[in-house]
Structure 1
């Protein structure tokens, strides 16, 4: 399949490489020449503009920083420039309203489109083990699913347009809350004289079991290997977690949802990200 890929950053670069590895002809675009060079080394053909990249393709995949850029790229460079009938897949994490607006504009122009944000981080993007939460019609999902499967381990249809973004921001709000709780519990246990490894062995097999503890232990040298064992480098940057929490709070206000723990998590990550925005989000344990 001929696929355009727009946005070759920390996540997009690995995703585009996996599409190429799966045998697709990937036409890649990014503003960074270094990102384009890496894409070429991974088997992608590169272009100097997004409009050129989408010429003659069957699908367009994007991984972009925010809703404003997503709207601009699709409005100016994709819709009306990609062939009629191409399926469009935006894998960025953006606000629900913009996802719905862009999808409506694409569908009005004759394209099938899904919002398909991801969970898994840079390692999963490189390894092709991402989880995709997909919003869009059944027809659009059916066309997008094989493309997403080449980049992930799980592809889940969440509902209509915008549902993927809703699932992503709610999931990451829960993740932020559980990571803070895990960090607090581990630190408290240590300060009370309990060996952190013993706490992990007990809690990871009892009612404290959760992904933040069992699969992403935030304390160095305890539990599974995680960014904590690498100085909190790599993984999921705290600045990105803060971005997702802000999106979640905006959505909660629109929906009239009560999210007191979500608000508290946002405040804590706002403080942490000032000095440590590039560190993995589990590094918030250092503030305790």
Structure 2
């Protein structure tokens, strides 16, 4: 049986620098998998290759058994892969609802003539999109802030809104890039519950980059550890916590 996502010897070089070398990841449907390592280890570069931002120097990426390495980002999104970013990238002048509507727009299936002429078919699809966006905000406990500017939300809810925007594209695989960054301890605990909830509610598979060890150890079934672009370990949280190479390169003795 094919994996939902599989990378084979995935490599990314920038000139003489190898950012990621021979990365092999295997993710089954429904799993929550972690990708961890020190700053500069190549984690976000791996995300950028999977989502089409970078074309790999070599190697393969298979999603649902189909090769997607080198494919354009919008086509990868349409296939069912969505992501968030380490630095929140909300549309600051838009409301919470408008941020979600922008992400949902490509699923409307309208053409230029429909939208310019405001044909009844476009108006109907626009109303359906609005109803779906409001329903999504309700499911993620953001409906009460739907008409507020996105930047007026507390930091934790801005992170949640970014995830909502990713979910609006209808993914089966969600890539989260440091979702706990900048959160206080309570927000981090809430995030863990939130990740489990969206996995179940939206039937998601999740690949997670995270430096917050309580979060990543608490939600991930397996983890891959990168150091200078090379995979130095992979396995269960307990295995990773006790791995001497990981302790030396990343976790430190206090994490044991």
TM over 0.5: no
Structure with more strand by fraction: 2
More helix by share: 1
| TM-score calculated relative to the size of structure 1 | 0.24
Normalising to structure 2: TM-score of the pair?
0.26
Query: Quick one: higher RCO (CA 8 Å, sep 6+), 1 or 2?
Result: 2
